[in-house]
A = this chain, B = another copy of it.
């Protein structure tokens, strides 16, 4: 696999870099960002936190707005932020922000016209970690986190692959996409009308039925404008309760769905992941 460096910025003694590469899973050119903490300069292989962003985002939003680099530099964790969908003029798209480019939902599409490129599940679970672990001085210890649509992605991907991720977390995740408008629209388009195929990508379903547990933390703002209609945190909480799933769910008065919320609590998420990545 060829990989091309397209930017580099020193940050908290480490490096934020963007790369492009030809993705086989997605059948198009993709861009991702990586933060390499200062510890890599000593030849130390660091663990990786994968960050999955929400609707409309690219690799840039989290790296520019979360302030994650300060804590990643302290703890010696690399951060990888993929894009949120396949991209390009030849890639199917939709005129609305919640379907198509910028809205891949971290599933493998089975339906035309989406199936030709929209294989984000395979990209995030397999192709991208393989590329990262071949290219950079990182270990195979992985954690995963994300926001909103990316929170849904992080929780479902970790629960479907409980041996690949040592911990999972989410900010403001879409907790029950089978039952909420963003999720229903995307799943119908990408996965088709058979709702049995949807269950595998619904965090509340997976958490209710999980046998092997991944340590989990979820933070949710009580003033989030999408909480009632789109996120359904209470369904995830009920699933965790019925299955004794180790979910540390924290609700915060006044906080909304924005990166101002993420930046306020990203340090706690990194410290949570670090306890598992470093054991």
Q: What is A's interface to B at a CB cutoff of 8 Å? A: 9-13, 16, 64-65, 67, 69-70, 221, 223, 252, 254-256, 258-261, 263-264
**Bound-state Cα–Cα, A272 to B66, Å:** 23
Q: Within the complex, what minimum Cβ distance (angstroms) separates A6 from chain B?
A: 14
Contact B70 A254 (CB under 8 A): no
Contact B9 A258 (CB under 8 A): yes
Q: Within the complex, what minimum Cβ distance (angstroms) separates A269 from chain B?
A: 14
Contact A10 B255 (CB under 8 A): yes
**Bound-state Cα–Cα, A36 to B256, Å:** 16
Contact A10 B263 (CB under 8 A): no
Cβ-defined partner of A263 (8 Å) among B13, B69, B255, B256: B69
Q: Max chain B CB contacts within 10 Å: which of A10, A223, A261?
A: A10
Q: A64-B64, A65-B65 are in contact. Are A221 and B10 (CB under 8 A)?
A: yes
**Bound-state Cα–Cα, A221 to B260, Å:** 27
**Lowest 7 A-B CB distances belong to which pairs?**
A67-B67, A9-B260, A10-B254, A11-B260, A10-B255, A12-B264, A9-B258
Contact B64 A261 (CB under 8 A): no
How many copies of this kind of chain does the complex include? 2
Contact B259 A64 (CB under 8 A): yes
Q: Within the complex, what minimum Cβ distance (angstroms) separates A152 from chain B?
A: 22
**Cβ–Cβ < 8 Å partners of A252 in chain B:** 10
Contact A264 B64 (CB under 8 A): no
Q: Within the complex, what minimum Cβ distance (angstroms) separates A260 from chain B?
A: 4
**Cβ–Cβ < 8 Å partners of A261 in chain B:** 9-11
Q: Max chain B CB contacts within 10 Å: which of A16, A260, A263?
A: A260
Q: Within the complex, what minimum Cβ distance (angstroms) separates A251 from chain B?
A: 13
**Bound-state Cα–Cα, A265 to B258, Å:** 24
**Cβ–Cβ < 8 Å partners of A69 in chain B:** 260, 263-264
Q: Within the complex, what minimum Cβ distance (angstroms) separates A105 from chain B?
A: 25
**Cβ–Cβ < 8 Å partners of A256 in chain B:** 9-10
When C-beta atoms are compared, the residue in chain B nearest to A12 turns out to be B264
Contact B67 A263 (CB under 8 A): yes
Contact A16 B260 (CB under 8 A): yes
Q: A64-B64, A65-B65, A260-B16 are in contact. Are A10 and B70 (CB under 8 A)?
A: no
Contact B221 A264 (CB under 8 A): no
**Cβ–Cβ < 8 Å partners of A260 in chain B:** 9-11, 16, 69
**Bound-state Cα–Cα, A259 to B66, Å:** 12
Contact A264 B10 (CB under 8 A): yes
**Cβ–Cβ < 8 Å partners of A223 in chain B:** 10
**Cβ–Cβ < 8 Å partners of A264 in chain B:** 10-13, 69-70
